[in-house]
Structures are given as C-alpha cells and as structure tokens.
Structure 1
Amino acid sequence: MKFRYPLSLTTRLALLFALTAASLLIAVGVLLGRAVEAHFAELDDHELRGKLALIENLLQRADSPSARDMLPQRLDDAFVGHDGIAAFLRDKDGVVSYAIHPSSFLTGILAGEALPSGIAKWEKDGHHYAGREQSLRMPRADGTTTYIRAVVGLDITHHATFLDAARLRLWLAISFAAVMAALLGWWVAHAGLAPLRRVTEIARGVSAERLSQRLTEAKAPVEVRELVDAFNGMLSRLEAAFQRLSDFSADIAHELRTPISNLMTQTAVSLSRTRTADEYREVLTSNLEEYQRIARMVADMLFLAKADNGRLPGPHELVALAEEARALAEFYEALAEEHDVSVVVRGAATVHGDRLMLRRAISNLLSNALRHSRAGSTIEIDVADDGPQVMLRVQNRGDTIPADQLSRIFERFHRASAERHHHGEGAGLGLAITRTIVETHGGTVDVESADGVTAFRIHLPRSIHGQTSIE
C-alpha cells in the first residue's frame, strides 16, 4: 500500500509498536483459545466416557430376565439430574431398546448412521452437542454375550457460548491494546526523537551569521549522540570555512587595494598635465609592474581555488628533488648575488609527483629564503631519506619568526611580521601554495625558527597510491 505523502518516523514507529503488540497478543490469544478448547474437549470426553462406563456397568448387571426388565428404570435413575445428557441403546438388529432425550440427536444418527471415532460434534436447534459411540457387551440368560450399540450425547452449548464470548472479549482487548500501544509508541517516539527535531530547528535557522549554535550532547540518547556529534562537527567546519572565506575576501580586498590605488594615483598624476614621452613611458613601466603583481596574485588565487576543488593534477612521474633544487638555485643566482647570499644544495632523493608543482613549492621556499636572508649568509637546501619518507629542508639566516606566528605562517595572506613584509612585495600566498602542493602529494610541511635561523621542511612519501620511488 502506497501513501500519497510519506509517513513521519514517529507515525511509523507508532504503527510498528501497534503491529508488534497486536501480533504478540493475537499469538497469545490463539494459543490461549486453543488451550481452553482442548480443556473443554477433555472435560467433555471425560464426561462421555463416564456415562458410557455407567451404561456398561448397568448392562453387565442385566444378566437375568428380571434384571433386564429393570434396566430402563435403572438407566432413568442413573440419568436423573443430567438434563444435558442424551443417550440411546440399539441391539444388533438395529432396534432401539432404550432412549433418553432422543431429540438431541440428528435424524441420521437415530436412523443408524455411525458416529466417527473419537468425539463427534453436531448442532441442532441452536444447541451444540458432542457425542461418543461404543459397542458394549451384555450377558444373556443362557450364559452367552450379546453386543449393544450405545450412543451418548452431551449438550455443550454453554461451552460454545463461553468460547464465543471469550473470543469477542479477546479481540476487543487486542484492539484496545493495539490502540494503546500505538499511542504509547507515538509518545515514546515523539519524546525520543526530540533531539532530531532540535537538529531540524537549528538546521532551519543556520545562516552565515548564525553558525555558532550547537546541540547539547548530554540530553541526547545514545542512538542520536553520533548524529549530534556529526551535526556539531559540521557546524564547526562550516563556521571555520565561512570565517576563512570572510578573512580571505577581506585579505583579497586589502591586497588588491594597494596596486589598484597605485595605478589610479599614477594615472591621475600623469593626466594632471602634459608630459613628455619618456615621462609617460616611466608611468607605464610602473603601471606594468603593478599589473604583473595583480596577475601573479590572481594566478595564485586561481591555483588555490583549483586545489580547494580537487582539480590539481595527480602525482604521476619521478621527480629528482635535488636536481630541481639545483636548477632553481641557478635560476635565482643573479638575485642571490644581488642580496649577497649563496645557495648550497646537498643530498639526493626521488619521489613520485608532479614535477612542475613540486618545483613551484621549492621555488616558493627558496624565494622566501632569499628575501629574508641576512647579507653574506648561505641558504642551505638539504635533500635526504627519512625512513619511508623523503625530507627536503630549506634553511636560511635572518630575522627570527615570532613563536606565536609559526602556526599561522602557512595561512593565506598571512605574514609573520611587518618587518618581514618589508623585505618584498609578496601577497602572502607563496607559503599557502607550498602547503597545498605538499598536501596534494600526501606530505606535510613545517617550519622552525630560533636564534635567527629559519628552516622549512617538506616531508613527502617515497611513493603515492602504491607507487614505489626509484633512486
């Protein structure tokens, strides 16, 4: 049966309670009814057997003509007060020699139709009867024995009436119990599902401005506690994600404001009066630098957006980390000489990954080290095996990163300090991109800074997705 509208969980549980209770009560009622019927049948059988034994005893004593003449009287005396008993005796020739209440028997039985073995039952004139038939021996005067067919009937209408009334009361009780079970089940389910309704209320009111609400676990039943934990965890993740998004949007606006303001100012100044071609060329050159800065920022943000949506390419090739580091050291050689800094690469290791992305991660760390290295110092890049992983470390000497900033240094648009910001014009996305690339390759990145020595360490697995690195 299909409903036009789906039933609520509370209604389903209530119906389940009712069906379960009704099924159990019906089973108990059927067993109880059969037990009562069997008990009445046993009583009726006992009564019928007793009357047949009584008739047989009287027949055994009719061993003389005078005793045989007295047999009907003795049978009448034996059945005095037993109005519910009917009986008749038939000799071997089919002649009825005695009968009491013969109207209780069906016409066919009186005409000689044999009753089935055991207890036979029939109805007549609105009454219910049970009967037995048995062949009994009766002695003759000449010492021989003849057989008499005795049929005894018992009015069991009161038993049938009692059973019908009991069945009616039982069905009424089962119906009432089913209704009560449904109501009780509805109340229990309604009370037990209160935490789910609370989840619904909170979910209905969730918005970007209302993500701080949480469900109380103490009042939640065990079966719902996991849902409460999951829902609270989801709200926490949403709140953190919205906060990051809000911070990200504010940081983007802040970072774009500076180059755009510079472009507007320089353009307005250049248009304030007529200038020479060289002066216009100088303004355009300055504007180009700002455009390049904006382009790099947009490219970095697009890269992070792809990473957030799982659209970065997967690791698929062997990458020699030391060779990539040496190639980058050569690329930055002019910049290093300008800062009076030298770059040293040591060690060797190979991992599976995307070469361009890993090269970009190392480049971000190296350029970061160049911006913040003290003049005359050396940037050390070490590549080494670290058990099942490969470790790449970029270490430089310069300003110490404050301890309270180390945990946030890989966040987007975050700079450890204003002093470090002054060393370059980065938007604060390089280290965030490095962490994203490393995590995409199944690795981790961390930083240590003390006594003017800062070391960034990348840990990468030697193989990814069941691949094995080769050195």
Structure 2
Amino acid sequence: MSAFHALRLKALTLAQRLTLLFVAIASAVLLGLGAVVARSVQQHFEDLDMDVLSGKMELITQALQNVATPQDLTGLAHQLARSLVGHHGLEVLLLDADQSVLFATAHASFDPQQVVAQARQALPGAVLWPLEAHTYRVLAARLATAVKDAQGQRAEVFVAAGIDIGHHQAFMQAFLHTLWWFVAGGAVLTAVLSGWAVRRGLAPLLEMRTQAQGITAQQLGHRLHLQHLPVEMAELAQSLNNMLARLEDAFTRLSAFSSDIAHELRTPVSNLMTQTQVALSRARSADDYRNVLESNLEEFERMARMMADMLLLAKADHGLVLPRLETLDMAQEVRTVLDYFEMLAEEKNLSLQLTGDATLMADRLMLRRALSNLISNAVRHAVAGSVIRVELQNLADQLEISVTNQGETIAPEHLERVFDRFFRVDPARQRGHEVAQEGQQEMDSATPQRAGHAVYPAARAEGTGLGLAITRSIVQAHGGRISAQSDHGVTTFSIRQPDL
C-alpha cells in the first residue's frame, strides 16, 4: 500500500505537492489549536464544577459540626434545602452509616453503595456518573458529625454532591462540530490560496524551464537570465550556467578532438592507400614490394602508437591511471633520459645540460615518459648550436622540474593550448599528405628505395601530436601541475610535483 501511495505521490507536480503540504500543515495547526482550546474549555468547566461542588461540600461539613443529636438532622435537612435553592442541576445525597437516606434532592437517585464505596476511597477529585439520561460530576466524602455513639465515637455520614454536566457536553459537542467545519473550510481556503501562491512563486522556475528548452547543441553559449530571480533560484540558475559553460567547453574540445583525430588518421591512411595503389599499378620486384611493406609498417606502427596514446589519455580522463610510487633519484632519472636523446642532439648540434638534484616519490616508467616527451619536444624545436637545460629545484613542499630550449617564441594564445591533444603551433599540418602526393608522382620514375622510404618523412618526425597531452595527464595523475612559458625565443616547460 505504501508503494501505491509513493507512486501516486510521484505522479503529482511540484505545485501540487507544495499545495498538499501547505494544506496538511494548515490543517494540523488548526486541529492542534482546536484541541488546545477544547481542552482549555473542558478544564475550565471542570474547574467551575469543582468550585461549586467543593463549596457545597464545605457547607455540608460545617453544617454537620452543629448536629449534636439525632433530632438536629431534621434542622440540617431544612438548612441544606434552603442552601441549594437556585442551583439547578446540583444534586446532594446524605446517608448515615446504615446507608439510610438522611437528605436527598429531587433527582439525587444515586446508588447508595456506590456513594459509600466512592467516599471510602477518598479520591481527591470528582468522578463522572451516568444517571438515567444525564451525566453527573460527583464528589463523594465521608464526614463526621457531633453525634457520639455508645462507644463515644463520632458518628459519620456519607455525602455525595453531583452536578449535571449535560449543558457542558452539549456546548463541547457544538464546539467540536464547529471546529471540524472550520478546519475543513480552512483546508479548502488554504488549498486555493496555496495553489495561487505556489504558482506565483514557481513562475521564475517556469521561466527558467522555457529558457532551458531553447538550449541545443548548436546554442550552448546561451545562458539563463539571473535578473529578478529569488536568491535560491538565482543560485540554481548560476549553477546551471556554470554547467552549461563546462558542457560548452567540453563540447568544443570534443568537436576539435574529433576533427583532429580524423585529420591525423586520414594522413597515414591516405599514405597507405597511395603507396599500395602505386605498388599495384605495375609489376615490381620482390625488393620493391618489401620496401613498400616496410614503409606501410612504419605507418601502422605510428597509428598503433597514436591509438595506445589515446587509450592512455582516455584512462587518465576517467582516473584509471594509477601510479606505482617509489622513491626516485631524479638526477639519475633525468640523466637516463638525456642519454637516450644524446645522439639525436648531436645530430642537431645541441647540448644537453642538467643542474640540481632531488628525490621524488613517483612512478618510474610514467615519469620517464613525461620527461622524454618534454625533452623530445625541446630537441625538435631548439635551434642548432643552442643548449637544452633541465633544472631540478626543491621548493617549500614540492619539486620543480623545468626543461628550457631556445627556438621560436610560442604566441600567448598558443601557450594555453599546447597541452591539448593533436594541437601543433605549426599551422602546416598537411605536410605529410603533401609529401605522400609527391611520393606518388616520384614513385613511377624513381628507384624503389626512394619510393619506399621517402613517403611521409615529415609526419613520422612530428610524432602523433599527443606527447604534451600525455605528459599533462601523467603529471596530474601524480597530483602535480605543468605549465609553459615562452618569451624572446626561450621556451620553458615546468612541472611542479608535490613531495608525496
């Protein structure tokens, strides 16, 4: 049954839920207030009845103190009859020790045994007794007289004073009946007013919904208006605007990434097709076919590296790249990487220099790959005869690794994107495809060795365009950050790694 009610509740709109909530709260408040008032009125009636009953019981007690002989009981009856004149609904019954009636008002037909039992219990308050068609609030007591028996003990009588509470009950019944109608009317009025107030209060939310419906993949730059919104909804709208900004940025990057990857894959695929078509255009020797296959193998290897790098970046984006930390001698690690690039640097007349010393908790293979990418980038863009410097510097609670080379200055607008996937500062991104076209033209007239190895040399030298993006992912996986600076022909990539 609870599941059914939960399903019914889910089918309600927010305005309906709020209206029902307001109605429930208003009804509960009215019912609670009515219960408090009813209890207060009831207690007031009880207090009035007790005042009357206590006063009459005190009068009877004083009158019994003057009863010294049995004959005085007759005068007592007359005195009580006179004192009760004008008290409508008040009944008094006076019994002796043998439960004989000494005095009784016209309608005091209480059960003597019940009177005696109630008086012997000596309860502090009154009790309700139904009598015929009426209900009485009765106060019973056992009182002593001045008459003494043969043993010298004062004789006792039993007194019951009751007051008809029918008019009180009738009033309370009418009051509760009126209360129920008032609560019902208040609930209906609350529903009407709450519905109007909720619709008016939710009007900005409906306006936000209308604005949000106009946002599409082609209009991610649209933002929700914050003017004239309540504070709570303004905060919600601002959060949605921030989300839209993140989505727009991610969508832009995804679109650029899709375009870049299509371009990067198109070039090697085009080269493979071109070389294969040229090779099949006429009969060739086994060495010619071997050269073509070797060239194709290089393209396949490049594509395989690109896919492996993209898989690594995808894992890094989802936090699946977990470093295996160990204590590393950073100077030794940098020397190992520099030794690898030493021959290539000599070919370009470059000098490799390391300064500083430090230790760091990091993943050895991942860190070497990040350093290799930075040094490879520096070697590729450094001018001949310059020095590539790798500096290790211990700061307060982190290690800074900087790689500096001399070459062309990177424009400030490009510095913000150098770590993006497939981004290259050099706009000549079609060179590989152009070389492939040249290779096709030369292949028919050139020797097999030139045809097999001249195709796409520039593209192979440039790599996959993912090196710096992978470096950033590795640094971020270690909890660090990487930045780039370029000014007056000097470019520096800096890694700041916290001391784990």
| TM-score bracket for the superposition, by shorter chain length | 0.7 to 0.9
Rounded Cα–Cα distance in structure 1 between residues aligned with 2:263 and 2:183: 74
Q: Residues 253, 162 of structure 1: CA spacing in aligned structure 2 closer, same or farther, 3 A cutoff? A: same
C-alpha deviations, 1:97-136, integer Å up to 9, x for none? Answer: 65441x3423x24997565455454233322333445648
**Partner of 2:385: helix, strand, or coil?**
coil
- Residue 460 in structure 1 maps to residue 487 in structure 2: no
Deviation at residue 252 of structure 1 after TM alignment: 0.8
**Partner of 2:494: helix, strand, or coil?**
strand
Equivalences for 1:2-401 in 2 at 5 Å?
A: 2-4=2-4, 5-6=6-7, 7-8=9-10, 10=14, 17-18=22-23, 20-51=25-56, 81-87=86-92, 96=101, 99-101=104-106, 103-106=107-110, 108-109=111-112, 113=116, 116=119, 117=122, 118-132=125-139, 135=143, 151-177=160-186, 208-209=217-218, 211-212=220-221, 214-217=223-226, 222=231, 228-276=237-285, 279-401=288-410
Q: Residues 421, 440 of structure 1: CA spacing in aligned structure 2 closer, same or farther, 3 A cutoff? A: farther
Q: Residues 433, 124 of structure 1: CA spacing in aligned structure 2 closer, same or farther, 3 A cutoff? A: same
C-alpha deviations, 1:229-254, integer Å up to 9, x for none? Answer: 54443333333222212111100111
What is residue 469 of structure 1 aligned with on the other side? Answer: none
What is residue 441 of structure 1 aligned with on the other side? Answer: 478
C-alpha RMSD of matched pairs (Å)? 4.3
Rounded Cα–Cα distance in structure 2 between residues aligned with 1:125 and 1:160: 15
**Partner of 2:376: helix, strand, or coil?**
helix
C-alpha deviations, 1:270-289, integer Å up to 9, x for none? Answer: 33334455555554454444
Give the conservation status (yes or no) of the 8 Å contact 2:330–2:360.
Answer: yes
Rounded Cα–Cα distance in structure 1 between residues aligned with 2:65 and 2:318: 106
**Partner of 2:2: helix, strand, or coil?**
coil
Larger mean CA deviation between 199-208 and 236-245 belongs to 199-208
**Partner of 1:454: helix, strand, or coil?**
strand
TM-score (normalizing by structure 1):
0.78
Amino-acid identity (%): 43
Q: Residues 2, 203 of structure 1: CA spacing in aligned structure 2 closer, same or farther, 3 A cutoff? A: farther
- The residue identity in structure 1 corresponding to 2:463 is G
Give the conservation status (yes or no) of the 8 Å contact 1:109–1:115.
Answer: no
Equivalences for 1:407-422 in 2 at 5 Å?
A: 407-418=416-427
**Partner of 2:361: helix, strand, or coil?**
strand
Give the conservation status (yes or no) of the 8 Å contact 1:316–1:353.
Answer: yes
Give the conservation status (yes or no) of the 8 Å contact 1:136–1:150.
Answer: no
Give the conservation status (yes or no) of the 8 Å contact 1:394–1:456.
Answer: yes
Deviation at residue 350 of structure 1 after TM alignment: 2.3
Larger mean CA deviation between 383-392 and 149-158 belongs to 149-158
C-alpha deviations, 1:395-433, integer Å up to 9, x for none? Answer: 222211122211111111111233799885333222112
Give the conservation status (yes or no) of the 8 Å contact 1:104–1:124.
Answer: no
Give the conservation status (yes or no) of the 8 Å contact 1:319–1:352.
Answer: yes
Q: Residues 427, 96 of structure 1: CA spacing in aligned structure 2 closer, same or farther, 3 A cutoff? A: closer
Unaligned runs of 5+ in 1: 140-144, 464-471
Give the conservation status (yes or no) of the 8 Å contact 2:115–2:160.
Answer: no
Rounded Cα–Cα distance in structure 1 between residues aligned with 2:494 and 2:2: 63
Rounded Cα–Cα distance in structure 2 between residues aligned with 1:123 and 1:208: 81
**Partner of 2:402: helix, strand, or coil?**
strand
- The residue identity in structure 2 corresponding to 1:375 is A
- The residue identity in structure 1 corresponding to 2:382 is S
Q: Residues 457, 130 of structure 1: CA spacing in aligned structure 2 closer, same or farther, 3 A cutoff? A: closer
Give the conservation status (yes or no) of the 8 Å contact 2:68–2:145.
Answer: no
Larger mean CA deviation between 326-335 and 267-276 belongs to 267-276
Q: Residues 213, 61 of structure 1: CA spacing in aligned structure 2 closer, same or farther, 3 A cutoff? A: same
Q: Residues 74, 231 of structure 1: CA spacing in aligned structure 2 closer, same or farther, 3 A cutoff? A: same
Larger mean CA deviation between 309-318 and 178-187 belongs to 178-187
**Partner of 1:265: helix, strand, or coil?**
helix
Give the conservation status (yes or no) of the 8 Å contact 2:360–2:499.
Answer: yes
Deviation at residue 202 of structure 1 after TM alignment: 8.2
**Partner of 1:409: helix, strand, or coil?**
coil
Which of 394, 410, 431 is the aligned partner of 2:468?
431
**Partner of 1:408: helix, strand, or coil?**
coil
TM-score (normalizing by structure 2):
0.74
Rounded Cα–Cα distance in structure 1 between residues aligned with 2:160 and 2:286: 140
Larger mean CA deviation between 393-402 and 278-287 belongs to 278-287
Q: Residues 109, 208 of structure 1: CA spacing in aligned structure 2 closer, same or farther, 3 A cutoff? A: same
Give the conservation status (yes or no) of the 8 Å contact 2:480–2:495.
Answer: yes
C-alpha deviations, 1:293-322, integer Å up to 9, x for none? Answer: 333323322322232233334132233333
**Partner of 1:413: helix, strand, or coil?**
coil
Rounded Cα–Cα distance in structure 1 between residues aligned with 2:214 and 2:398: 47
Deviation at residue 207 of structure 1 after TM alignment: 6.4
Give the conservation status (yes or no) of the 8 Å contact 1:372–1:420.
Answer: no
